[in-house]
A and B are shown apart, each in its own frame.
Chain A
Amino acid sequence: MVAVAGRGGQAVGILSAYGLRLARKRWRFRAFRKRRELSAVVDRTGRIRGRDLLLFSTLRNERLRLPYFLRYYRELGIDHFLVVDNGSDDGSREYLAQQPDVSLWTTEASYKRARFGVDWLNWLQMRHGHGHWCLVVDPDEFLVYPFCDTRPLRALTDWLDASSIRSFGAMLLDMYPKGPIDAQPYREGQDPFEIAAWFDSGNYTISRNWLYNNLWIQGGPRARMFFADDPARAPALNKIPLVKWHRSYAYVSSTHMLLPRGLNLVYDEWGGEKASGCLLHAKFLHTLTGKAEEELRRGQHYAGSAEYRAYAATLAETRDLWCKWSEKYINWRQLEILGLMSKGNWA
């Protein structure tokens, strides 16, 4: 990496550029060490072909969601799923192992100490993702991009390739039902957005991280309901889930940011709009109640699971994230009009 001068007045010197290079090497080494925590259940990676689109995911006890998750992404054109199962005991592992396009690893090791799964996935991507477009999502995140109703994911990645773009940003958009979140139980195979059909359209705040050059986005129903008194702790919503992977890349913190940091420039700084998508987040379903309790017990989540503690507290009280200005989801064009995502110059 050549020393980069930061734009907009904040000079980022050679030293910090070198520091980031070391950081990237450290994360990669860490991922390399953590590889020993993974043991393969089924390794079908031999079937991956040169141009295949790969999806990477870590999960725990998501059996209920898996059928729709796999169907959604198969329909978008994902060719192979590489999944780390973190000690599921609800049949997720057995279900995934049967799928012909899934390679599965399992681990009982600490999610937290693998930096919330990032180390494991960094390793798998280093191993299998090199030269491929890789999508890294959780089982409750559903990618929506411009023209996703008429063009497969491959159309997007081909276009990104042709435009010499290596990474594609997709903000996390929290979806929630109207009424108590456990009023309508989610059934296996169902589209979760039939229930969690609503979202906040215009209460997001953005600031820029001058070291990593990524944007830090917060807001949405979680900030509005759970962190209204302490906004700084509201979860980050910026994500860069789709990257033309190179073995020297590394995710730093979830899929919020990457190194080298040029990959984080998924936004335009001079007034224009780059193409971007959204990750519809089907977190707020009836499954959350049980999950929140379990995660609180395990304490394996970010910031001492503060998020889950806040959910448990607030949901016990109000149980409704919906407000009269909530927007009902229709399609990606709606998100684009609302300014949550953009077609950029893809037409």
Chain B
Amino acid sequence: MLCHTALHRAAQVARHLAAQGAPVVIHVDGQVPRPQHERFVRALADLPRIRFCRRFRCEWGTWSLVAATQAAAEMVLAEFPEVSHVYTVSGACLPLRPLAELEAYLARHRGMDFIESVTTEDVGWTVGGLDIERFTLFFPFPWRRRRWLFDRFVTLQRRLRVRRAIPEGVVPHLGSQWWCLTRRTLAAILSDPRRPALDAYFRRVWIPDEAYFQTLARLHSHRIESRSLTLSKFDFQGKPHIFYDDHLQLLRRSDCFVARKIWPEAERLYRAFLAPAGTGPALAEPNPGKIDKVFSRAVERRTKGRPGLYMQSRFPNENWENGKTCAPYSVFEGFCELFEGFEGWLARTAGGRVHGHIFAPGRVEFAGGERVWNGALSDSAALRDYNPRAFLTNLIWNTRGERQCFQFGPADNQAVSWFIATDPNAQISVVSGAWAVPLFRSKANFSELRRTAARLQKVEAGHLEILRSPWTKARVRIWTLADFVENPMEPLQTILDEIVPRGLRRPTEAPRLVDLTGFGRFLQQLRNEGMQPVLMGDFPASDLPAPPLRRPVAARLS
């Protein structure tokens, strides 16, 4: 058992193990002050099967940890001849199952060495990218205290192509330092005639405690079971996860023998697992799957986060969002200008939530004219325009599980143009030039209409340019007004199919196009006034009503 802090907990665990008949040899870090060490030794003095080995000053990632382990292991083998297996634990480990169950387990797997031992090519966990280089470079600087020098020196050696020779027959393996070896294997490692040479080599390997026994076991063991019996999980920085009181049930169900590492003040865990053993040995296999899931989710949350979420501790730089918004949504441009009651129709046909122009200048036109929406989003245009992007991402986040559709047009605040265009979650359908239809129907002062038309056309042209740019990632469809009215149902059906996969919902009615009689004439009038309406496509200037426009088109929909 290797200890350096929270010695009172280590003492508790050692006492628990000794009480069940296991001899324990403890290594106390040389940095622990003498009075503390003496108190620790005194606290365990009543137990003859607890011994203390020679102390080394241990520093993370250095040979001292191997030296300590060697010293302790030699002491076990020498002083307790009846011992058949040696299990390394730390002071922050906690045995989860009675020793008898471990003994039974080891007896069932006779002669097996439980030591995680993976070749350097296959390890996925090394943080910082050093794997085989741990064995082939020199590491004179401590990583923890002299990070900068450490990194520079590694870079320098890479550039100079420095390579240490690996001793013959040694194939570098890495793995957890918490292993359980048979007496035979451990003795063979410790009494290897080449040991002085091997020790000298490993002394300069980086993090030898994760390599020494893991590599040498491959030379001496007959049967290696490459996994650790100790439950120990690492986070994305390579630092062990810590267990707390609320992990009690999780740990119980894991059926692992030992867990690392335990928060020293997790009183409930210590009390629960160090209680005297109950019934006879259970034979369950260790099953850390559930705990694995909890911790791998934690790592994922820390590295990837929840897509589309912007909050106090997740504020990704642009293009690092891993999902600009959290769910697909649809943007309709020009549809409600062209169809009567389009919003209601879409809501009935496609489901989801259909808003009006949520970026309209006066107020946010939430569905149903609501003043507040999910998440207490206000309909105040000032609040929205203060940060339009946040408004949109909030809306999509707040309504997770319900598809949002909204109308957009050149009269609206255009600040989110780039954002929606580059968002793969956006489905943008545009009938270009449809903004002219309400103008045409408004019968207002013509010179004013003309000015408005010119402004809207300019805004929409800019918006379309963005939608057509090579950076656009949204699902964009653009029709000119002329093309669209010629055959409106086919595009609508395509859009619907994307929102609701075909077959789920059959549209029972078709939306009604507004009456466009005289629209061509209106455009011609604009032209006559010196404006050039281009976004509508080719509309005949004649007054002839185009027959297909007014025909109900339900037949196509079914």
Residues of A at the B interface (CB closer than 8 Å) are 7-8, 147, 150-152, 154-155, 158-159, 162-163, 169-171, 200-208, 215, 217-218, 221, 223-224, 227-232, 238, 266-276, 323-327, 339-347
Contacts and interface: CB of A to CB of B under 8 A. Distances in A.
Interface of B: 235-237, 239, 241-242, 244-246, 263, 265, 294-295, 297-299, 301-306, 309-318, 320-322, 371-378, 380, 382-383, 386-387, 390-391, 394, 397-398
For chain A, what secondary structure do more than half of its interface residues adopt (helix, strand, loop), or is it mixed? loop
B316 to A, nearest CB: 5
Nearest to A200: B376
Contacts of B313: 169, 266-268, 273-276, 341-342, 344
Nearest to B241: A347
A215 B316 CA distance: 11
17 contacts: A8-B318, A150-B245, A155-B244, A158-B263, A163-B239, A201-B376, A223-B383, A270-B316, A270-B317, A271-B316, A273-B314, A324-B372, A325-B375, A339-B309, A345-B301, A347-B241, A347-B298
B246 A274 contact: no
B311 A206 contact: yes
Given A154-B265, A270-B320, A271-B321, A203 B301 contact: no
Given A205-B387, A215-B312, A272 B378 contact: no
A7 B319 CA distance: 13
B312 A224 contact: no
A346 B298 contact: yes
Contact of B265 (A155, A204, A275, A345): A155
Contacts of B371: 323
A160 B313 CA distance: 15
A152 B265 contact: yes
A228 B382 contact: yes
Contact of B314 (A162, A229, A267): A267
Contacts of B235: 163, 345
A269 B299 CA distance: 16
A346 B242 CA distance: 9
A147 B246 contact: yes
B268 to A, nearest CB: 9
B237 A267 contact: no
Given A201-B376, A325-B373, A229 B382 contact: yes
Given A158-B263, A272-B301, A345-B298, A325 B372 contact: yes
Contacts of B310: 206
Nearest to A232: B386
Contacts of A269: 315-317, 320
Contacts of A159: 242
Contacts of A204: 311, 390, 394
Contacts of B390: 204-206
Nearest to A340: B311
Contacts of A267: 311-315
